[in-house]
Structure 1
Amino acid sequence: MSSLRAWARDLGMGVRFAFGGGREGWTRTLFTGVGVGLGVALLLISTALPSALTARYERSDARSTLDAPRTEQPGRDTLLVMRADQTYHDAAVEGSFLRAEGPDAPVPPGLEKIPGPGEMAVSPALKQLLDSAEGAELRKRLDWRVSEIIGDPGLMGPGELLFYAGNDRLQKTGPEQYQVIRITGFAPVEEREELDPVLMLLVVLTFVALLLPVAVFIAAAVRFGGERRDLRLAALRLVGADTRTVRRIAAGEALAGSLVGLFLGVGFFAVGRELAGSFTLRQRSVFPADLNPSPGLAALVAVVVPAAAVAVTLFALRGVVVEPLGVVRTTVPRRRRVWWRLLLPVGGLGLLVPLAGRRSEGGDFNQWQVSAGVALLLVAITALLPWVLERLVSRLSGGPVSWQLAVRRLQLTGGGAARLANGVAVAVAGAIALQMLFAAVESDYVASTGQDPARAALAISLPPGQESTGDLPAKVAATEGVVAAVPLTTVYGRRPGADTGIRTEITVGTCEALREVAVLNACADGDAFVLAGPDQYEPLQPDGKLFVDPLFDPAPDAKPLEWTVPAGAMPVTAREDPTGRIRQGVLVTPSLSPRGVGAAENAQVFVQVDASVPDALEKVRTAALNADPLSRTLTLKYTREKAGYSAIRTGLFFGATAVLILIGTSLLVSQLEQLRERKRLLSALVAFGTKRSTLSLSVLWQMALPIGLGLALATAAGVGLGAVLMRMTARPVRIDWSSVAAMTGTGAALVAVVTLLSLPALLRQMRPDGLRTE
C-alpha cells in the first residue's frame, strides 16, 4: 500500500473514532472543536479588519469637506457648511450647520434632503441618546426638530453620534469668515498621512502580540484529552496496529476536532459579526456588513488550522511510546532537553538586535524581520515553560496533602499544565512589551497643547463678524456651576504704511478679562495698555495711529477707520491666555474701544466651572449654544494625541479585549476538559476518604503553580523584549514597573476568575458515580 493511501486510511479511521467512538470520543471532539473554534473566530475577525477599516474610510471620505470643491460666489449648486462639533460626557458628537444657497446644493450622504432652519438630521445612535434619560441635557442643547435619520452610507459606524442642522444665519461674505465654507460637492481626502516607521512598528507588534496567543491556544486545544487518547491507541496496538499507524490515527482524531473547530469558528464569527453592530468601544463601532474576511486570508486559515492540528499531534507523540499493554508516559518521563529551546530566544534577539538605533538613523524597520524576531521571542516562552516547570516540580516535596497531590500530578503530567499557562504567558509578555514601547514613544505623539484647564475649563468662540459677545457671557455666567465667565473681543488694525497683511491686535475687555492676557498691577475702566511681549514688531507708542478695517462690512466703499492709541497707555508684559496664546498690540477697557468698526473678528469667553456641580460643563455648553447657535466651545486640555497614535491605541484596546475574552473562555474550556479526564481519579480519592476541600485546593495548586511560573517567565521575557524594542526606536530603556504589575495582575485575575467558574464542575466530578464504567 502506498504511503499516501496509508495516510488517508489512517486519518479517516481517526476521524471515525472522533465521531463514532461513543460519548468519550465525541465529547473530546466537541471540547477540541470549541477551543479551536474560538481561535478561528478571532482569526477570521482579524482577517476582516482591513475591509472594515476600508469601509470606514470610504464612508468618511464620502461626506468629507476637507478637499471638497469650493467657490467664493453663491450659486444654484452651492452649500454653506460650518462645523458644529459638540462634546457630551466626554463623548464626541460630530455635527455641521448647513444652508443651501440653491436648489441643486449637494446633499450629504445618508440624507434625502438638506435640513431646513430649525430642523436636524441625526444618526440612529444620537437619536437613541436624545430619547434616553441620559441625554436629557443634550436634548436642551440640540433642541431642533428631528426631520430625518441619517442612513448607513453617511455613517462611519452604527454607534457614531452625528447630526446635520439647518441654519439660515450662515453667511460667507469674504475669505476672513474661515469657519464657514462654500462647497459644490463632497470629495474624498486626496492624500492620507502615512504612518511613520515607529507607528508602523507599533502596528506590526500589535498584530503579532495579539494573534500569537490565539495560535498558542489553538495548538493547545487540539491536544485536549491526550491521556485518554493514548490509552485508546494502546488498545489499537494490541490488535496489531504499528506505531506509525496509531500516530496517524491520533492525527486523524485531531484533524476531526480541528474541522469541527473550523465550522464552529465560522458560526462564532457569524454571531460575533452580528453582535458587533451593537457594541461601541471608545466611540468606535463597525457595521456587521463591513466585517468581510479576505477570501485569501480566510482560505489560509481554513488550510493552516487543520494542517497545524495534524503537525502538533505528531510532534506531541514523538516522545511517547504506545505499547499494546499501556503507554510509556505513565512511567517517569524522560527529562526534557533545553538546548533547542534556547535557540528560539537567541534567534529572536539575532533578528532584533541589528535593528537597534535604526530610528535615530532615519531608516525604516523591516516588518518581516521584526515580526519574526518578536514571534520567536514569544514562542520561546512556550518552549521554555515546560522545561522550567519540570525542573521546579522535580525538586518539590512535603507540605500539605493538597500540595503533595498537586505536585505529584505536575511531576507526572506537567506538559498539560504548561500548555494551559502558555497562552496566558505569551499574552502577558506581549502586553508588557507593547506597554513599554507605547510609554517610550508617547512623548513623540502626545504633545502639550499649551492650554491651562486650571484657569478655564472651556473657551467659547463666537463666529467672526459679530460686533461683540452680546448677551452670551451673561447667559453663561448665570448657568449653574459657573465660577467665572470672562469675555474678550479683538479687532484688528494696521499701522500706517504697513502691509495690509500685517495686522495689530486691539483687545477689548474688563480689567478682570485683560488680566488673563497680561500682567497688570493696577487697572480701572478707561485704562489702556501696550503689550511689550514677544511682538515681532516695535511696540506701539501712545498716540500712535492704527487703521481698523471693517473686514466684515459688505459695503464695497467701506473705508478703514483711523484709531489713535490712548495717550496714557502703559507698557505691560503679555502672558499666555488659558488657550496658550500670547497676544500683541494694545489692550483697552470697554470705554476706549474703537467705535464704528462694524464687527469684532475674534470674540471669546473663558469659562471656569465648579467641578463639584453635576454636569456643569454640559450645562455651560448648552447655554452657549442656546445663546448663539454658531458659537463654538473648546474644552481645554493639557495634552493632545496625534490621530495615528490614537487610532493604534484604540485598535490595541479592541484587540486586547477580544484576546482577553478568548483567553478566559479557552482557559475555562481547558480546565473543564482536564477535570473531565480526572473524573474517575477524583471520585476514587473521595471514595477513599479524601476531603473535597483538599481536592479542590490541589486542583487550585495545579493551576496556580504553572500559571505563576508562566507569569514570572512572561514578565522577564516581556521586559527584555520591551527593552530591545526601545533600543530599536532609539529610546532610553526605562521600565514602568506599575504597568508591568498591572499586566501581570490582569493575567492572574483572569486565571482566578476561571478557577472560580470551574469549581461547580469540579464538585460534580467528585461524585461516587464517577467510578461507574461501561
Structure 2
Amino acid sequence: MIRLGLRLTLSGGREAAARLAVIAAAVALGVGLLLSTLAALNAVTTQNNRNAWLNTGAVTAEQEHAPSTADPLWWLLRADNFDGHLIGRIDLAATGPHAPIPPGIPRLPGPGEFYASPALGALLRTVPADQLADRYPGHQVGTIGDSALPGPDSLVIVIGRTPAQLSGDPEARHVTSIMTASPADCSGSNCRVGTNSNGMDLILSVVAAALIFPVLILIATATRLAATRREQRFAAMRLIGATPRQVSAVSAVESSVAAVIGVAFGFGLFYLVRPLLAQVDFTNTPFFLSDLSLNATDVLLIALGVPVGAAVSARLALRRVQISPLGVTRRVTPRPPRAYRVIPLVAGLLELAYFIGRRPADSGGQIRAFLPGIFLVLGGIVFAGPWLTMIGGRLMARRTHRPARLVAGRRLSDDPKAGFRAVSGLVLALCITSAAVGVINALTAEQGVPQGSASLSSTVIGDYRHYDDHGNQLDSAASPPEALLSALRATAGVQGLTVIHADPHPAPSDHLAGGLATCAQLATLPTAFGHCPAGAQTASVGPSFSVVGLDRLLSWPAVWPSAPATAAQLQNLPVDQIVVATDGSKSAIEQARTLLATAYPDQEQPFTIAEDRSQMSQRLSGYQQLADVVIAVSFPVAGCSLAVSVAGGLRDRKRPFSLLRLTGVQLGVLRRVVMLESAVPLLVVAAVAIGTGFLTAQLFLQAQFGYSLRAPGAEYYLIIGGGLVAALAVIGSTLPLLTRITGPEVARNE
C-alpha cells in the first residue's frame, strides 16, 4: 500500500502534481514561520544570557560562596544616554595582577584607557567630542567582542580607573569574580540588567500562545487541502474491497510525502530569511545572526512532528470513509455542530474571571493562572467557529431569495466546518490583536508617563543624591562652580538653568519639599516646573524635578512657597539636582550632559526627562513590542491560511460548480457564492472573536492590575479594517481559478 500511495501521489497526473505542489508550498511556508518563531525564542534566551556579566556586583549565592584566588576588582555599573539610546558604562579598577577580566576584552583597561562596543566606537569617532567623548577619560584601546554584547547595536563602554577613584564611591562594589548566571535565573536587585526568570517566562509564554497557534493552523489547513476529493477516491477504494487500514496507509503516505517535501523547503526558507529575521526589533535590539539557531530538539520536533501531524490529520479527515464509504459517495450531509462547542470558550472566560480579586502573588503562579484561560479562549474560538458559522448561514438562507445568498447560506448550514476552516486563522488573529491592543491601551493609560511639552521632555537633569538600602538620603554633591554654570548658559540651545540645593531643614510632612532654588533661576525653566510667588528671592521646592507630573496622587504646584534663605546663602549648600532646559536639539542636550558628566565624574550620569520616563516604562515598552510582533506575524500567516483553504475548497467543488454552469448559472453568481461562503463566517465569527478578545483583555486587566479596558484608538480600527479588506482581497484573488475549473470539459471528464 505504501507503493500505491507513492504512485498516486507522484504519478497521479497534473491534478495530483498541482495538489502536491500547493500542499508542499503551504507546509514549507508554515514550517519556515514555525522555525523562525522557535529560533527567535532561542535568540531571546541567548541574548539575555549575554547580559549576565553586567550584573556583576550583585549579592548572589554564586559570588558569595564561589572560591576564588583572584585579586579583588572594583566594579561600578552606571547608565548613560546618548540621543535617547542607553549606554552601559562600567568603571573598573584592579587591585592586583590577578583580578577577574570581563568577557569580550583581552585584558583589564588601565587608568586612562577604555574599551568600547563597535556601535559606541563608531559614535565616538563621528560625534563631536563635546557631545560624547569628553565624558570618558582616556583613550580607546580596543573593541568589546560580541560575546559580551546583547546585540550588534549595543552601546557599552568599559573604563579603567584607579582603586582610589572608585573605593570612595558608595555605588562601587568589591568583586572577585564576574557574574556568569543568566539574568533568567535571578530576581530582584540581582537582575539590574537583562530579563529575569519571571519576565522570560512571560515573553516565551506570550510568543508561544500568540504566534505558534496561527502557524499550526496554517500547516493543518495545508495538509487537509483537497480533502473532499481524497474522500471520494478513498471511498471508491473501500467499495471495491480495500480495508480501512489499507485506505489509512495510502492516505498517510500521500499526506506525509507532501509534508516531508514541505518540511525540507521550509528549512531552506528559514535559512533564507534568517538574515532578515535578525534585524527584527523583537527585544528592542536586533539579534546577532548566530543567535537565531535551532537546537536538536527543535529540528527533530519539526522534521518528525509535521509529517506525523499531517498523517494524523489525513487519518482524522477520513472518518466518514472509515465508518461508511457510501456516506461519502452519496454526499450525505455531515451532522451539524452543536451548541456545546461554545463550552471551552465560556470556560476560558470564567477561568479568567475567577482570578479577579484572587491573583496569585508570584509571577509563576500568575502565569499558571492566566495561561490556561487564554489557551481555552483561543482554542474555544476555533472550536466554536463551526457552530457560529452554521448560525450565520441559516440566518442568511432564511432572509433572502437571491440565488447566490441562498446557495451560500445552505452550503454553510450543511457543512459549516469547511466554511469556518477557511477563515479560522484570520479569526484567531483578530481575537489576539483585540486582546493585545486592549491590554496595551489600558496599561499605557494607567502606567504610561505623560510626556509633557517638548521643552519639558528635553530637560537635562544631573541627579546627585545618594540613598541607603532603606531609601534614606545619605548625601548630596558639592555646589557647582560658577565656571560650570557659565559654560552651561553659553551652550547653544540651553534655555534655562536651575540648581536645586539640599534644604537643611525640610518640612517633615511635605513630600514636595526638601530642595531650595533661587527664583531667578526658576524663572528660566518651562512653566511646568512652577515658579516663585511675587517678590520672593528663593523658594522651597521638590528635591527632584525629574518627577514633575509623574505621580498622579501628588499635585505638582504651579507656585512654590517662598523660603527664608537668601540667594547668597544657597551657594554654600550641597546640590541635589542641576536642571538644564534645552531647545530639544541633540547638540544642546548632549553638550549639556557632557559638561555635567565631566564636572561630576563620580556621580550618576545626567539624563533627560524623556529618557527617565522611557526607562521607567521599559516593561510597558516591551509589552508594546511583543504586541507589535504578534500582530505583524499573525495577520500574514492567517492570510496564507485563507488563500490555501479557499483555493482548496474551489478545487474540491469544481464538479458541482461545473454542473451549475452547464445548467445556466452565470459565472458572476458562482463568484458571489464563493465570496459569501468566506465572507459570512469571517464577519460573523470575527465579531465574536473581537468581542471575546476585548472581554479577555478586560478580565485579565481586572485580575492582574485592577484596571479597566479603554477604548481603542484609530490605529486599532485601521489594523482591523485593513486586515478584513486584505482578507476579502485574498478571497477575490482566487476567483479567476473559478473560471478555469468550471468549464464543460471538467463535468465531462469527471
For the superposition of Structure 1 and Structure 2, which TM-score range results when normalised by the shorter chain?
Answer: 0.7 to 0.9
CA contact (8 A) 1:486 1:512 kept: yes
Counterpart among 712, 726, 750 of residue 738 in structure 1: 712
Count matched residues: 689
What letter is aligned with 1:634?
F
2:501 is aligned with 1:485? no
Question: Residues 743 and 677 from structure 1, CA distance in 2 versus in 1: closer, same or farther, beyond 3 angstroms?
Answer: farther
CA contact (8 A) 1:225 1:674 kept: yes
Which is greater in Rg?
1
2:179 is aligned with 1:187? yes
What letter is aligned with 1:487?
T
Give 2:391's aligned residue: 391
What letter is aligned with 1:602?
V
Q: Distance in 2 between matches of 1:172 and 1:275?
A: 45
Per-residue deviation, 1:722: 3.8
What letter is aligned with 2:375?
A
Counterpart among 623, 633, 637 of residue 662 in structure 1: 637
Larger deviation: 688-697 or 19-28?
A: 688-697
Question: Residues 263 and 519 from structure 1, CA distance in 2 versus in 1: closer, same or farther, beyond 3 angstroms?
Answer: same
Q: Distance in 2 between matches of 1:689 and 1:92?
A: 70
CA contact (8 A) 1:62 1:154 kept: yes
Question: Residues 454 and 252 from structure 1, CA distance in 2 versus in 1: closer, same or farther, beyond 3 angstroms?
Answer: same
For the aligned residues, what is the CA RMSD?
A: 5.1
CA contact (8 A) 1:234 1:322 kept: no
Per-residue deviation, 1:666: 3.3
Q: Distance in 1 between matches of 2:32 and 2:278?
A: 16
Give 2:419's aligned residue: 417
Q: What do residues 374-433 of structure 1 show as CA deviations (whole Å, max 9, x unaligned)? A: 333322222322222223223435477765675566566653331121122223224434
Give 1:157's aligned residue: 151
Q: Distance in 1 between matches of 2:23 and 2:165?
A: 66
% same residue: 23
SS of the aligned residue for 1:85 comes to strand
SS of the aligned residue for 1:187 comes to coil
2:338 is aligned with 1:338? yes
Question: Residues 624 and 417 from structure 1, CA distance in 2 versus in 1: closer, same or farther, beyond 3 angstroms?
Answer: same
CA contact (8 A) 1:37 1:264 kept: yes
Give 1:285's aligned residue: 286
Give 2:547's aligned residue: 580
Give 1:561's aligned residue: none
Q: How does 1:124-139 map to 2 (within 5 A)?
A: 124-126=118-120
CA contact (8 A) 1:30 1:260 kept: no
Question: Residues 193 and 76 from structure 1, CA distance in 2 versus in 1: closer, same or farther, beyond 3 angstroms?
Answer: closer
CA contact (8 A) 1:490 1:507 kept: yes
Per-residue deviation, 1:223: 0.8
Give 2:480's aligned residue: 468
Q: How does 1:237-276 map to 2 (within 5 A)?
A: 237=238, 239-242=240-243, 245-276=246-277
Question: Residues 421 and 604 from structure 1, CA distance in 2 versus in 1: closer, same or farther, beyond 3 angstroms?
Answer: same
Gaps of 5+ in 1: 1-8, 496-503, 530-571
CA contact (8 A) 1:81 1:99 kept: no
Question: Residues 64 and 763 from structure 1, CA distance in 2 versus in 1: closer, same or farther, beyond 3 angstroms?
Answer: same
Q: Distance in 2 between matches of 1:121 and 1:758?
A: 57
SS of the aligned residue for 1:521 comes to coil
Question: Residues 228 and 129 from structure 1, CA distance in 2 versus in 1: closer, same or farther, beyond 3 angstroms?
Answer: farther
Counterpart among 76, 81, 87 of residue 86 in structure 1: 81
Question: Residues 311 and 727 from structure 1, CA distance in 2 versus in 1: closer, same or farther, beyond 3 angstroms?
Answer: farther
Q: Distance in 2 between matches of 1:269 and 1:148?
A: 35
Give 2:47's aligned residue: 56
Q: Distance in 1 between matches of 2:315 and 2:141?
A: 65
Per-residue deviation, 1:756: 3.4
Question: Residues 601 and 99 from structure 1, CA distance in 2 versus in 1: closer, same or farther, beyond 3 angstroms?
Answer: farther
SS of the aligned residue for 1:164 comes to strand
CA contact (8 A) 1:358 1:730 kept: no
SS of the aligned residue for 1:485 comes to strand
SS of the aligned residue for 2:460 comes to strand
Q: Distance in 1 between matches of 2:709 and 2:547?
A: 33
Q: Distance in 2 between matches of 1:356 and 1:627?
A: 48
Per-residue deviation, 1:60: 0.9
Q: Distance in 1 between matches of 2:254 and 2:542?
A: 76
Question: Residues 87 and 30 from structure 1, CA distance in 2 versus in 1: closer, same or farther, beyond 3 angstroms?
Answer: farther
Per-residue deviation, 1:617: 4.5
Q: Distance in 2 between matches of 1:203 and 1:442?
A: 22
Question: Residues 332 and 76 from structure 1, CA distance in 2 versus in 1: closer, same or farther, beyond 3 angstroms?
Answer: closer
Counterpart among 615, 620, 625 of residue 589 in structure 2: 620
What letter is aligned with 1:92?
L
Question: Residues 617 and 688 from structure 1, CA distance in 2 versus in 1: closer, same or farther, beyond 3 angstroms?
Answer: farther
Per-residue deviation, 1:626: 5.8
Give 1:533's aligned residue: none
2:494 is aligned with 1:521? no
Question: Residues 184 and 240 from structure 1, CA distance in 2 versus in 1: closer, same or farther, beyond 3 angstroms?
Answer: closer
Per-residue deviation, 1:755: 4.4
Q: What do residues 254-306 of structure 1 show as CA deviations (whole Å, max 9, x unaligned)? A: 23333333333333333444443333345233333334445446544555434
Counterpart among 726, 729, 747 of residue 753 in structure 1: 726
Q: Distance in 2 between matches of 1:421 and 1:436?
A: 23
Question: Residues 594 and 727 from structure 1, CA distance in 2 versus in 1: closer, same or farther, beyond 3 angstroms?
Answer: closer
Larger deviation: 52-61 or 506-515?
A: 506-515
CA contact (8 A) 2:519 2:531 kept: no
SS of the aligned residue for 2:316 comes to helix
- TM-score, scaled to structure 2: 0.74
Q: How does 1:49-448 map to 2 (within 5 A)?
A: 51-67=42-58, 78=73, 81=76, 83=78, 85-88=80-83, 90-96=84-90, 107-113=101-107, 121-126=115-120, 141-142=132-133, 148-158=142-152, 160-164=153-157, 166=159, 172=165, 175=168, 177-178=169-170, 186-188=178-180, 192-193=186-187, 204=205, 207-237=208-238, 239-242=240-243, 245-281=246-282, 283-296=284-297, 299-319=300-320, 327-328=328-329, 331=331, 333-345=333-345, 347-348=347-348, 355-359=355-359, 365=365, 370-397=370-397, 398=400, 407=409, 410=412, 414-436=416-438, 446=447
